[in-house]
Structure 1
Amino acid sequence: MTRIIKYVFYDILRTRFILFYTAFLMVCTFAFFQVDGDFGKVVLSLMNIVLMAVPLVSVVFTTIHFFNSYEFIELMLAQPVNRRAVFLSEYLAVASSLCLAFVVGVAFPFVLYGAW
């Protein structure tokens, strides 16, 4: 199961969608720090963006990913691998890649500005 997670995770990290998502969050956070350096105001402004963008990106990216990897999932299900392990691996890889993109996109500017 860990091999499937690792393969899917690295495959997802190579996509442009995740890079654009990380860059979008990073640009928004840097922009909020440029407008007002107050930590509280930046967090509140970022919360408004995060509450709108993260669920939308998660749903859209997950749908696109499962649609594009249909043949891979079909191939894995034809192998002597537990069905639950295949779907759980896909889910964990997608969730962890989106979480990593969010953490990098938001935490890097906070660390850079010394607000963390």
Structure 2
Amino acid sequence: MAEDGGARGASGASGASRASGGGDEFAVIVEGIKKYYYMGDDVVKAADGVDLSILKGEYVSIMGPSGSGKTTIFNLVGGLDKPTEGRIFIDKTDISKLDAYELAWLRCRKIGYIFQ
């Protein structure tokens, strides 16, 4: 995670163009992700404007202090939770458009999830 709370990706290209092809093959593209939890009158910003690009075959480590949003990002990229705002692409598929069955298939076939 960057100092401002957002993860930084390797590419400056926009997510839509990166996901639609051309250039390097990205396995994961996270574009402007926000995840807010509402607790009464309070808003908890678990992720606030995160952008991340991961190339196929690339190893990535997301590090940060407790409460910085690491687990939230993993849950969003893994399709276990939906973002408040933003888009996530896994192998050029916008996972926000997938139903529960399609998300389960994606997790089974494309994502290796190791819980902490």
TM-score range, shorter chain: under 0.3
Which is helix-richer, 1 or 2?
A: 1
TM score, norm. by length of structure 2 = 0.27
Which is strand-richer, 1 or 2?
A: 2
Larger Rg: 1
TM score, norm. by length of structure 1 = 0.27
Higher RCO, Cα 8 Å, sep 6+: 1
